[in-house]
Copies of this chain bind each other. A is one copy, B any other.
Amino acid sequence: MQELADNEGARVVRIGRQPATTHAEISHTGLRLFIERGFDQVTVDDIAAASGIGRRTFFRYFPSKNDLPWGQFDDMLDGMREHLASLPRSLPLRDALRIAIVVFNHIPEGELQYHRERMTLLLTVPSLVAHSTIRYAAWRQVIADFVGERLGIDPAGLTPQTIAFVCLGVSIAAYEQWLAHEDASLSDLLDEGFLATRDLMLLDEPRPA
Contacts and interface: CB of A to CB of B under 8 A. Distances in A.
Given A158-B173, A174-B158, A204 B166 contact: no
Interface string A147-164: 000111100111101111
Interface in A26-66: none
A71 interface: no
> Interface residues of A: mostly helix, strand, loop or mixed?
helix
A104 interface: no
Interface stretch (A6-14, A105-113, A189-197): A189-197
Contacts of A150: 205
Interface in A161-199: 161-166, 168-170, 172-174, 176-177, 180, 189, 192-194, 196-198
Contact of A173 (B93, B162, B194, B201): B162
13 contacts: A93-B206, A130-B130, A132-B133, A153-B208, A158-B173, A158-B189, A158-B193, A159-B209, A161-B173, A164-B173, A165-B169, A197-B197, A197-B201
